[in-house]
């Protein structure tokens, strides 16, 4: 049913894009296949992430777009989190799963000489999660286009499937979902096996882009997000008592997040290459601090071939209520007030990423089309390796072995 | 029923969300900085060829970049500073 709605939504968005294409000057299309691999002896993960997008320019200033993405996930995950004191065999609790997420989106943008306006809608569905997102954006250029200001706002209305516990049930008695079957079906709700919880997301972003010289530009980006609702993983239980008893993760239901990023691009004429340096500071009301730095170099080797190399470092503190073991005492392990989590992304960690991307492009003269169809085309391939250094997180005292991941992408794009 | 009990439990510890800073103040500072410092830069239109090169664009909105962002956001606790997107559980 959800898939049918997603496909219908995509169909509608495509219809809009194609209606535009009928009188369009240019139609840009892009297709991508990304493979994410996370090897592990107990909780390996494989995600296939295909996607397509098309945009048609209608007249001088209007562009309509449509797109579709999917996440095809297979793997295994540990359903319970315990620390070194909990006495629970966490690793053998890993259970296999597979799921497919569909995302359909459509949008428009209007560009004048110095101003732009955009809007869009995105619908995502998977067996245990649904999302409706509405976005609007506006921007303007000043000082002979040397200064640009852009503002974007996205509001998401999400639903997540959980086990059917009442709001009055003590959080230490709530249990996780054992499977996604029956989610979003009236029968399972009536039988008291499943429930649906709301998540509301408000995202606001302000970006200032500045050209300082013919070869230097910067961008300062301020992002804020408010999350409200069920912010736990509905499948994950945490050992919270020395007896080994566990309960569903329990997170605060509100989280405000803010990030400030500065990006710099500098072109070295003699190398025909652009240096990029990005730095980001992040903080949220769960008391997480994070800093991220990325360095990149992209070079034109020939007019039709360019190569990018990038390196990234990220470091974060744990959230205030993070503990590797909620059954012990202070200060290293033990309870952190009324909340508990088994989410490694909320623990103190460092992550390192190294990657490269190659892009082949072809540009045709007017009237000379590639394969008789495309005005221009491009093919790209990229590979990134991500290593995560979990500084406190363990599976019952054992270091996880799924901390190295690879992301490979192949893309094809063309303009009609 | 599981009890989260024991004398070592300190339920008075601050788990109340704290002030994450003041985004409004940051936004105002950005606007003022953009307004006043932007006027100092004077790249003429005929000098913008390199700035228009694809390697000099800050917003990489390609599907490849989107997929990479999606992976990183699901493996780290922080987010932001890039494009604003919504949706997706990332539970698995």
3-state secondary structure of A111: strand
Residues of chain B with pLDDT under 70: 1-23, 34-41, 83-92
Q: Looking at residue A258, what is its pLDDT?
A: 97
Q: Using an 8 Å Cβ cutoff, are A381 and A412 in contact?
A: no
Per-residue buried b or exposed e for A264-292, using 16+ beta carbons within 10 Å of the residue's own CB? ebbbeeeebbbbbebebbbbbbbbbebeb
Confidence of residue A1 (pLDDT cuts 50, 70, 90): very low
pLDDT in tens, A374-416: 778 899 999 999 999 999 999 988 899 999 999 999 999 988 8
Q: Which chain B residue is nearest to residue A134, measuring alpha carbons? A: B86
Inter-chain CB proximity B18 and A287 less than 8 Å: yes
Least confident segment among A126-135, A189-198, A248-257, A377-386: A189-198
Question: Hey, is the C-beta of A250 within 8 angstroms of any chain B C-beta?
Answer: no
* Average pLDDT, integer, range A74-90: 81
Confidence of residue A266 (pLDDT cuts 50, 70, 90): very high
Q: Using an 8 Å Cβ cutoff, are A35 and A63 in contact?
A: no
List the structure tokens of A361: 């492009």
List the structure tokens of A226: 């408010």
Beta bridge partners of A302: A305
CB atoms within 10 A of CB B55: 20
Is the preceding omega at residue A331 within 30 degrees of 0, hence cis?
yes
* For residue A85, pLDDT beyond 90: no
The complex scores an ipTM of 0.85
Q: Looking at residue B89, what is its pLDDT?
A: 43
Q: Which of residues 41-60 of A touch B (CB under 8 A)?
A: 45, 49, 51, 53
Is the Cα torsion angle A369, A373, A378, A379 positive or negative in sign? negative
Q: How far is CA A361 from CA A85, B61, B68, in A?
A: 57, 17, 21
Q: Looking at residue B9, what is its pLDDT?
A: 34
d(CA A176, CA A164): 9
Which of A403, A390, A397 is closest to A91 using CA atoms? A397
Interface size A-B, in CB pairs within 8 Å, comes to 300
* Average pLDDT, integer, range A229-237: 94
pLDDT in tens, A169-227: 999 999 999 888 888 888 877 777 899 999 999 999 999 999 999 999 999 999 999 99
* For residue A6, pLDDT beyond 80: no
Q: Looking at residue A372, what is its pLDDT?
A: 72
d(CA A346, CA A367): 55
The domain ranges of chain A are: 11-415
Question: Hey, is the C-beta of A145 within 8 angstroms of any chain B C-beta?
Answer: yes
Which of A254, A274, A268, A257 is closest to A198 using CA atoms? A254
* Average pLDDT, integer, range A114-124: 95
* For residue A4, pLDDT beyond 90: no
d(CA A68, CA A72): 13
pLDDT in tens, A31-51: 999 999 999 888 789 999 999
Q: Looking at residue A224, what is its pLDDT?
A: 95
Least confident segment among A5-19, A38-52, A319-333: A5-19
By CB neighbour count within 10 A (0-12 exposed, 13-18 middle, 19+ buried), where does A178 fall?
Answer: exposed
Q: Looking at residue B1, what is its pLDDT?
A: 33
d(CA A32, CA A70): 11
Q: Looking at residue A5, what is its pLDDT?
A: 53
Q: Looking at residue A193, what is its pLDDT?
A: 83
d(CA A79, CA A95): 7
More confident residue, A87 or A409: A409
Which of A154, A66, A52 is closest to A109 using CA atoms? A66
Q: What is A11-415's CATH number?
A: 2.40.160
Q: To the nearest whole angstrom, how far is the Cα of B10 from the nearest Cα of chain A? A: 6
Inter-chain CB proximity B23 and A204 less than 8 Å: yes
Residue A260: list chain B partners with CB under 8 A: 26, 81
Confidence of residue A15 (pLDDT cuts 50, 70, 90): low
Q: Looking at residue B45, what is its pLDDT?
A: 87
pLDDT in tens, A151-172: 999 999 999 999 999 889 999 9
CB atoms within 10 A of CB A206: 19
| Residue labelled with tokens 């732009």 | A116
pLDDT in tens, A296-315: 999 999 989 999 999 999 99
Q: Looking at residue B16, what is its pLDDT?
A: 41
Interface-testing mutation among B7, B31, B46, B84, with chain A (most A C-beta atoms within 10 A): B84
Inter-chain CB proximity A386 and B31 less than 8 Å: no
What's the whole-number average pLDDT of chain A? 89
């Amino acid at each position: 049913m959800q898939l049918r709605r997603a496909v219908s939504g995509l169909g509608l968005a495509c219809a809009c894009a194609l209606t535009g294409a009928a009188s369009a000057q240019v139609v840009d299309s892009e297709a991508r296949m990304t493979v994410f691999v996370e090897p592990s002896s107990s909780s390996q993960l494989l995600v296939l992430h295909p996607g397509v997008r098309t945009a048609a320019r209608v007249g001088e200033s209007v562009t309509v777009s449509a797109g579709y993405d999917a996440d095809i996930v297979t793997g295994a995950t540990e359903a319970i989190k315990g620390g070194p004191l909990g006495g629970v065999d966490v690793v053998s609790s890993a259970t296999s799963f597979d799921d497919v997420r569909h995302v359909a989106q459509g949008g428009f943008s209007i560009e004048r000489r110095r101003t732009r306006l955009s809007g869009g809608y995105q619908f995502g569905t998977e067996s245990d999660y649904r999302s409706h997102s509405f976005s609007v954006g506006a921007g303007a250029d000043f000082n002979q286009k040397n200064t640009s200001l852009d503002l974007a706002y996205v509001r998401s209305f999400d639903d997540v499937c959980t086990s059917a516990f009442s709001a009055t049930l003590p959080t230490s008695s709530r249990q996780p979902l054992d499977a996604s079957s029956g989610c979003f079906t009236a029968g399972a709700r009536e039988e008291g096996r499943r429930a649906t919880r709301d998540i509301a997301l408000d995202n606001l972003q302000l970006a200032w882009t500045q050209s300082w010289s013919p070869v230097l530009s910067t961008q300062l980006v301020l992002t804020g997000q408010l999350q409200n609702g069920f912010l736990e993983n509905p499948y994950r239980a945490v050992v919270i008592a020395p007896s080994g008893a566990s309960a569903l993760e329990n997170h605060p239901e509100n989280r405000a997040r803010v990030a400030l990023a500065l990006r710099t691009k500098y072109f070295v004429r003699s190398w025909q290459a652009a240096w990029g340096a990005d730095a980001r500071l992040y903080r949220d009301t769960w008391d997480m601090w994070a800093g991220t730095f990325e360095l990149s170099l992209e070079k034109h080797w020939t007019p039709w071939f360019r190569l990018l190399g990038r390196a990234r470092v990220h470091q974060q503190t744990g959230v205030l209520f993070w503990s590797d073991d909620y059954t012990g005492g202070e200060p290293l392990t033990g309870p952190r007030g009324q909340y508990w989590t088994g989410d490694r992304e909320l623990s103190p960690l460092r992550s390192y990423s190294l990657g490269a991307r190659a892009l082949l492009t072809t540009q045709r003269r007017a009237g000379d089309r590639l394969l008789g169809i495309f005005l221009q085309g491009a093919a790209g391939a990229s590979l990134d390796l991500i290593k995560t250094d979990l500084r406190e997180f363990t599976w019952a005292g054992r270091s996880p072995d799924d901390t190295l991941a690879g992301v490979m992408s192949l893309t094809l794009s063309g303009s009609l | 029923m599981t009890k989260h009990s024991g004398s070592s439990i300190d339920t008075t510890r601050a788990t109340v969300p704290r002030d994450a800073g003041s985004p409004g103040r940051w936004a105002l500072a950005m606007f003022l900085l953009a307004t006043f410092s932007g006027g100092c830069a004077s790249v003429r239109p005929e000098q913008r060829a390199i700035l228009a090169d694809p390697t000099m664009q800050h917003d990489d909105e390609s599907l490849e970049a989107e997929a990479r962002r999606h992976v990183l956001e699901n493996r780290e606790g922080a987010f932001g500073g890039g494009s604003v997107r919504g949706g997706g559980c990332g539970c698995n």
